[in-house]
Amino acid sequence: MTQYQLFATTPKAMEGILANEIQALGGQNVQQKLAGVAFQGDLAMAYRACLWLRTASRVLLLLGSFEVKSQQDLYDGVQRIDWSGHLNADDSLAVSFNSKNNPAINNTHFGALKVKDAIVDQLRAKFGSRPNVDTEYPSIRVNVYLHNDTAQLSLDLSGESSHKRGYREVSIAAPIKENLAAAILLRAGWPDIATQGGSLIDPMCGSGTLLVEGALIAADIAPGLQRDYFGFLGWKQHDAGLWHSIWDDAQQRREIGLSKLPVIAGFDQDRRTVVAALQHVENAGLAGKIHIEKRDIADASAAESWVKGLIVCNPPYGERLGDEEQAALLYRRFGEVLKQRFTGWQAAMIIGNPELGFKLGIRSHKPITLFNGALECKLLRFTIEEKAFFEPKAKSQQERIEHISRRAQSGQVDSQAEMFANRLRKNLKKLTKWAKQNHIHCYRLYDADLPEYAVAVDVYQGEQTWVNVQEYESPKTIDPAKANQRLAGVMAEIPKVLEIPAEQVFLKIRRKQKSTDQYEKLSDSRHFHMVEEGGCKFWVNFEDYLDIGLFLDHRPMRLLIQQQAKGKRFLNLFAYTGSATVHAAIGGAVSSVTVDMSNTYLDWARRNFVLNGIGGDHQLVRANCMEWLAEKAAAKHKAQFDLIFLDPPTFSNSKKMDEAFDIQQDHIQLIRNATALLAPGGILYFSTNFRRFKMDTDALSGLIIEDISSKMIPEDFKRDARIHYCWWISQR
């Protein structure tokens, strides 16, 4: 029997899991590669791989490899294959092509055309007719991977990505793909737990992907059983009888498996998400087999009859959370639920910031690295037992600030503080000249230039000079007493270098966040001061909030809006204190709509309007921007705007919102709805401070998207090119 060289692709860091799957199916000479696994097997093995592999993306059958140093080499190498053995002249084909480090062919579209031409030309010469191209459901799909000078030519037996099981609604976004969900469950030991009758619970189940994949594993259901298209079905060497026997065997195993399925249940706080999850369960043929209901995380619990098993979830990623206090509260609350109601269970969660896992108060096993798309994540696994419990530390920021201020005033500071003072003087000399030449009154003077002094120092000049100091949280390896001593040195040296009273220097403790932390109320002094930027005036407040009312890193964007606003209708979403709208109005915008959910910040924006004499058709709207946009985008007579600024928080689960907002998950719908409001020729500027953000351009096809981040980083922030990302977006 013919033995084929096969290759199964998978996301990076999942190769080991996939190799175990292939070995269990009977694959031979299994070898892990980067983002895939090479193996050997007969046609039955190839079919089983397509049907049964849970963590694979595609299954490829290698036809040959050859050297490519020119375009002609690629054409000739493809022509050395007898394509009449794989498809008829009246069949269809599609080609996928990827190139890495090959100077001769680095354009994937051109490479795919060259491969297609070689196949078509050969069949036309032999039969007088040629196959058609069908990118959706071709008879065969040819895959070429060109790395350096070597091309690997394969048939894609999967036809489309294996993570598509057929149960998920295309219109419903999900935070993880099916093969990643399967990898999480396999790594968490779910197959053994299910065999022993243990239950599976996802207390933040979202659209139900982890639950459905858990049921498929527990019931021994092939993940590809519901798919109606594979890449081998139109292949000339396809053995329909062999395939049907393998498919029939999988059907029988499904029926047996469903009869002994353990308890699988999920909860979610959002009613619409619950409806989506139930739809996915039904689509997967598992209606009545998985219990899902609307329930807050605080109310998650198992029925007395449920056998202890596995808690699994994909909570909002820690590094996406704009407000660490808010994030810590969510994880502490979840940890308490686990300790109180799930002792004796196993737990697993995939998380972007493993440090946040400590907030659960349960010691985890060694973390496992996985990737959710391009985002590196950690899979944390726990045994929920009393000996693993600990109390997460909680600190009062205000108490620490007062303690440091007292130390600075008394001279109890770091002996090396002069090193910080020297750097501050150097920066001041350079930036004072730049600021004066560019008429800039508020700027960043220092931003963790010295690792020992991890603070940001911002200068605001109005009727006085004020300084806002923000400390970045020290690593856990740094002695807290030493960190306090260094910070006291910073607070002692700044007034000396800038020659201002100590009471005009304000200290904030900033964690790993840059978005919604400005909403944290610290005090209620109501002391506002006026500053100027680009001919606009703004009220700032150094005492009551972590962010003071004007994001300095967005200065170039505000000035760009001012330059482009003349005669335009302007929309400002997630508007904060309305500074971008002030710039637009001063720049000559004929009208504007400023939308934010906070009364506090809309009142602040209103005061900024009054300060600048802005009247007329400039509306302030209190609303959830996501809901407001969706409503306007769905309206028959859409509001038409010529210029839109969209700067959402990284994460928010405000009590005023029905569901949590996460920029990585929600940006597609957000941008789609915003661009629907653009007038012909209109421009949307989209910005985010999420450092690991990835723009999903594939999901936003039909839009013109240009990354302008480098142009929007001001001189005083060039130490950190990732302070924010910006895009210019318009309709085609």
Are 112 and 96 in contact by the 8 Å Cβ rule? The answer is yes
pLDDT reported for residue 651: 75
The two three-digit tokens of residue 588, written as one number: 């000559």
Q: What mean pLDDT do residues 584-600 have?
A: 95
Please say if the pLDDT value at position 473 is more than 80. no
Delineate the domains of the chain, giving CATH numbers in brackets. Answer: 4-156 (3.30.2130.30), 178-227+251-388 (3.40.50.150), 395-512 (3.30.750.80), 527-732 (3.40.50.150)
Could you give the CA distance from residue 304 to residue 288 in angstroms, rounded to a whole number?
A: 19
Average pLDDT, the chain: 90
Taking Cα atoms as reference points, which of 552, 545, 553, 551 lies closest to residue 518?
A: 545
CA–CA separation, 38 vs 566, rounded Å?
A: 60
How does pLDDT run across 678-692, given as a tens digit for each residue?
999 999 999 999 988
Q: Check whether 601 has a pLDDT greater than 90.
A: yes
Is residue 503's pLDDT more than 50? yes
Looking at residues 85-89, what average pLDDT do you find? 95
Residue 241 buriedness (CB in 10 A; 0-12 / 13-18 / 19+): exposed
Q: What band does 519 get if pLDDT is binned at 50, 70 and 90?
A: very low
pLDDT at 300: 95
Please state the rounded mean pLDDT for residues 518-526: 54
How many CB atoms are located within 10 Å of the residue 633 CB? 16
- 132-136, 402-406, 617-621: least confidently modelled range: 402-406
Q: How many residues does the chain have?
A: 732
This prediction's pTM: 0.60
Percent of the chain at pLDDT exceeding 90:
74
CA gap 360, 581 in Å, rounded: 41
Q: How does residue 513 score in pLDDT terms, banded at 50, 70 and 90?
A: very low
- How do beta strands 150-156 and 569-573 pair? unpaired
Rounded to whole angstroms, the Cα distance separating 82 from 628 reads: 58
pLDDT of 563 higher than 80: yes
At residue 412 the predicted structure's pLDDT band, cuts being 50, 70 and 90, is low
Query: Which residues fall within 8 angstroms of residue 167, CB to CB, at 6 or more apart?
Result: 212, 226, 280, 281, 283, 284, 285
User: In the predicted model, is pLDDT for residue 657 greater than 60?
Assistant: no
Report whether pLDDT(451) > 90: no
The per-residue pLDDT for 259 is: 93
Q: How many CB atoms lie within 10 A of CB 563?
A: 12
Contacts for 352-356: CB closer than 8 Å, 24+ residues apart = 352/317, 352/318, 352/319, 352/320, 352/376, 352/377, 352/378, 352/692, 353/317, 353/318, 353/319, 353/321, 353/512, 354/318, 354/378, 354/380, 355/318, 355/512, 356/318, 356/321, 356/327, 356/328, 356/331
Q: Which of 198-212, 550-564, 626-640 has the lowest mean pLDDT?
A: 626-640
Q: What mean pLDDT is predicted for residues 619-637? A: 88
Six-digit token pair at 567?
């005669």
Element of type H or E holding 560: helix 555-564
Per-position b or e across 648-666, b if 16+ CB within 10 A of its CB = bbbbbbeeeeebbbbbbbb
- The encoded tokens of residue 648 equal 């959402």
pLDDT > 60? residue 515: no
Percent of the chain residues topping a pLDDT of 70: 92
Whole-angstrom CA distances from 94 to 54, 85, 120, 124, 201 are 25, 16, 11, 16, 41
pLDDT digits (tens, 9 = 90+) for 697-728: 989 998 999 999 999 999 999 988 889 999 99
Residue 325's pLDDT is: 55
Q: How far apart are CA 507 and CA 566, in angstroms?
A: 39
Burial class (CB in 10 A: 0-12, 13-18, 19+), 608: buried
Q: Which one-letter amino acid corresponds to residue 501?
A: P
How far apart, in whole angstroms, are the C-alpha atoms of residue 27 and residue 384? 36
Write down the pLDDT at residue 6: 98
Quick one: pLDDT at residue 321?
Answer: 35
Residue 616 DSSP one-character state:
S
Record the tokens describing residue 118, joined without a space.
């070689």
Between 502 and 397, name the one with better pLDDT: 502
Asked whether the beta carbons of 404 and 208 are under 8 A apart, the reply is no
CA distance 629 to 459: 36
Q: Which residue has the higher pLDDT, 236 or 169?
A: 236
Digit-coded pLDDT (tens) for 272-322:
999 999 999 999 999 999 999 999 998 999 999 999 999 999 987 544 334
Give 584's pLDDT tier (boundaries 50, 70, 90): very high
pLDDT band at 528 (very low <50, low <70, confident <90, very high): very high
Residue pair 232/238 in contact (Cβ under 8 Å)? The answer is yes
Which 3 state secondary structure label does DSSP give 354? helix
Tell which residue, 138, 137, 142, 99, has the closest CA to residue 117.
142
Q: How many alpha carbons lie under 13 Å from residue 374 in its C-beta half-sphere?
A: 8
What's the confidence (pLDDT) of residue 376?
A: 86
Closest CA to 671 of 687, 657, 659, 658: 687
> Cβ(354)–Cβ(378) under 8 Å?
yes
pLDDT of residue 514: 39
Judged against a pLDDT cut of 80, whether residue 127 lies above it is answered with yes
Structure confidence at residue 35 as a pLDDT band (50, 70, 90):
very high
Terminal CA-to-CA distance of the chain, rounded, Å?
54
CA separation for the pair 611, 680 (Å, rounded): 33
Highest mean pLDDT (candidates 249-253, 517-521, 664-668): 249-253
**Would you say residue 224 has pLDDT above 90?**
yes
